Structure 1
Amino acid sequence: MPPIRDQFCSACGTAYPTPLVYPRRCPASSCGMTVWANPIPVAVALVPIVVGDRTGLLVVRRGIEPKIGKLALVGGFVEEHERWQSGAAREVVEETGVIVDEGSVTLFDAVSTEPRPNRILMFATTTALDVATLPPFTPSTESLRRGVVFGPDGLEEVFAFPLHAAAARRWFAERGITGSHDHAEH
């Protein structure tokens, strides 16, 4: 069983009474510290990649659980010291080696995870990049491969996360791009 967070007050060390529900208020009369379980922000980038006369979205093949081996849009947790736009740009570099202009990171959609809304995914678009300008890819334990996915149909079968597939389908639909998906590594 995984450890339970916030079993003890972080200010004075007093144990919280059971049942452990949020918000938790320290029972010590000299303390009274309260903690909350707020949702964690996740920045996910939809980076358009131009390959010849087609435009697709930058993806990675996951090297870690959950859903190891499946495709995902590039993204991750926003650090406490950065704006979400900076987090999106940082994640793109960390996972793919591709540099995107932080100033081009624009909100596309914001969605809470279901059924437990403990994450808020901020989907962002960036300026399109030509595939010829991409730097060489170096695999990592997190990102086994880098590629581009074209077309919206069937993404739920190859994407690790339904919310990523939904955002990609919407992106393709807004640009009039239809048809079955295909994937090419770059």
Structure 2
Amino acid sequence: MPPPVKDRFCSFCGTAYAEPLAYPRTCPNATCKVTVWANPIPVSVVLVPVRSEQGTGLLVVRRGIEPRKGMLALVGGFLEEHETWQVGGAREVAEEVGVTVDATKLTPLWFTSTEPRPNRVLLFSVAPTLERASLAAFTPSTESQERGVIHGPQGLEDVFAFPLHIQAARKWFESQGLTGPHRFTPV
């Protein structure tokens, strides 16, 4: 059985789109004629600085799901249609690592599109710095196996799931004048 194809049928009237399927797709039904597009999906990713006796680093999650299960990532995810990038980012931080950040205090760091296929727009932001002692206990979930802090930009390509997360983390470390190995510490 072939894999399912997104938008094979008009979601308004149910008429099948003509082959070959390409975007934008306009319904061939003369009374409908609705057009659908394959717009990129926004992803809010939040860099959460955490200060501890080891210095200040970034909060990360060990992925419990594919892609790149078991590797580290910054905290983030897809926005819901009713959310701003700030609200969605704060929600993702709470869902994935059990930490509350104030959505109104998130500041933009860097916005970029995925490569080579720009089907995602990543909205990287920075939360205010948290104290390690203020973090509640972490409860692993299907999505998040472990929570930790990385303390430097070197070697991230060996442990991080996504190249754009590496770039964002390095941008932040550089802005803070922090160097050295990533030194992952569970928190």
Shift of 1:25: 0.5
Match of 1:85 in 2: 86
Residue 32, structure 1, aligned to residue 33, structure 2 = yes
Residue type at the aligned position of 2:30: S
Residue 106, structure 1, aligned to residue 111, structure 2 = no
Match of 2:77 in 1: 76
- Three-state SS of the structure 2 residue aligned to 1:61 is strand
Detail structure 1 runs of 4+ shifted over 3 Å in the superposition.
none
User: 2 CA distance for matches of 1:60 and 1:13?
Assistant: 41
Q: Where does 1:3-22 land on structure 2 (aligned, <5 Å)?
A: 3-22=4-23
User: 2 CA distance for matches of 1:102 and 1:111?
Assistant: 20
Q: Name the count of aligned residue pairs.
A: 186
Identity of aligned residues (%): 61
Runs (5+) with no aligned partner, structure 2: none
- Three-state SS of the structure 1 residue aligned to 2:184 is strand
Residue type at the aligned position of 1:17: A
User: 2 CA distance for matches of 1:132 and 1:2?
Assistant: 48
Shift of 1:2: 3.2
TM-score by length of 2: 0.97
User: 1 CA distance for matches of 2:12 and 2:101?
Assistant: 41
Match of 2:185 in 1: 184
Deviations 1:37-89 (A, max 9, x none): 00001000000000126110000001111111100000001011111100000
User: 1 CA distance for matches of 2:150 and 2:139?
Assistant: 19
Q: Where does 1:1-186 land on structure 2 (aligned, <5 Å)?
A: 1-52=2-53, 54-186=55-187
User: 2 CA distance for matches of 1:9 and 1:108?
Assistant: 38
Deviations 1:84-139 (A, max 9, x none): 10000000000111101111111111110111111101001010000000001000
User: 2 CA distance for matches of 1:149 and 1:70?
Assistant: 13
Runs (5+) with no aligned partner, structure 1: none
